[in-house]
Amino acid sequence: MRLRTLIIAAITLLILAAVPLLLAECTPVHAQGVDPTGPQPTLPKAPLTIIDDQGKAHHFQVEMATTPTEQETGLMFRKSVPADGGMLFVFPTVQPEPFWMKNTLVPLDMVFINADGTIRAIAENTVPYSLAPVDSGGPVKAVLELQGGLTAKENISVGDQVEAAPFGNAKTGSN
């Protein structure tokens, strides 16, 4: 009887120890490993332009999240995102990139961008604090986070062209 109790206790401990590891595997890639308690400092900025299907240019100065820690923290704890700002996440490989809204205080528009700079998908007005994955709609090279509602307001849509240095198509003097 005593051996059986010890075996059950050992199995229970193993299962409890495995749960955090299993949950970590389900966490979106860009939210693992960092648990900040406040916003990160403003990151270096770069010009980015979106050309919509009518040929109108929408100019932004976006923060560049380049390191894993910067990408994991993103816009967490920021109280606002300027209409002409945002944050660009560029990845070393083209692959599906799920995001989430953990510790994000304001709604965002998430613009998922193909390697050639075309917009693959847009998630509009994502829900603050949500832990639900926001799907990229397939493999992407980058994600642009903008002020919530901006893409609809400015008629930015799937198929529009993003011009910026990471896509090799930045126009000099366009911003």
CA 168/CA 153 separation, integer angstroms: 27
Is the pTM value of this prediction over 0.85?
Answer: no
CA 104/CA 79 separation, integer angstroms: 8
Query: Tokens representing 18?
Result: 């495995």
Q: Is residue 86 classed as helix, strand or coil in its secondary structure?
A: coil
pLDDT over 70 (residue 36) = yes
DSSP assignment of 5-50 equals HHHHHHHHHHHHHHHHHHHHHHS-GGGSS---SSPPPPPPEEEEEE
Domain segments of the chain: what residues? Answer: 30-167
CATH 2.60.120.1140 fits 30-167, yes or no: yes
pLDDT by residue (tens digit) across 67-94? 999 999 999 999 999 999 999 999 999 9
Confidence of residue 27 (pLDDT cuts 50, 70, 90): very low
